[in-house]
Amino acid sequence: MEKKQEIKIEITPEIAAGHYSNLAVISHSAQEVFLDFVTMAPNMPQAKVQSRIIMSPENAKNLLFALRDNIAKYEATFGEIERKMPKNGGANGGVPTPFQS
């Protein structure tokens, strides 16, 4: 049986504090996938990119699977995450746009 190699990951206090994001903009080229994490505020004409992550397509797909797995575990523990929809139809015909591609 093969022994798994442990990777020690270090995180600085500044990075550990994190950034809040309520919008992700995803784009790609032939070689990379770009994830821009943005913070939008009501009635503000401009939103600021808090962080940009650039990944290979293969690593982006691995992220997709890891995120899907973690969401399934979260929902198994805490219940289904329901998407909130505006009661009055909202500006986009009732379609929430917290994350877009």
pLDDT digits (tens, 9 = 90+) for 13-66: 999 999 999 999 999 999 999 999 999 988 888 999 999 999 999 999 999 999
Delimit the domains of the chain by residue range: 21-82
Amino acid, res. 27: S
Q: In what order do the strands lie in the sheet with 99-100?
A: 48-55, 33-39, 23-28, 99-100
Q: What tens digit of pLDDT does each residue of 58-88 get?
A: 999 999 999 999 999 999 999 999 988 878 7
The position carrying tokens 């442990």 is 6
pTM for this model (two decimals):
0.73
Judge contact between 99 and 24, C-beta under 8 A: yes
pLDDT band at residue 94 under the 50/70/90 scheme: very low
Distance CA 70, CA 28 (A): 24
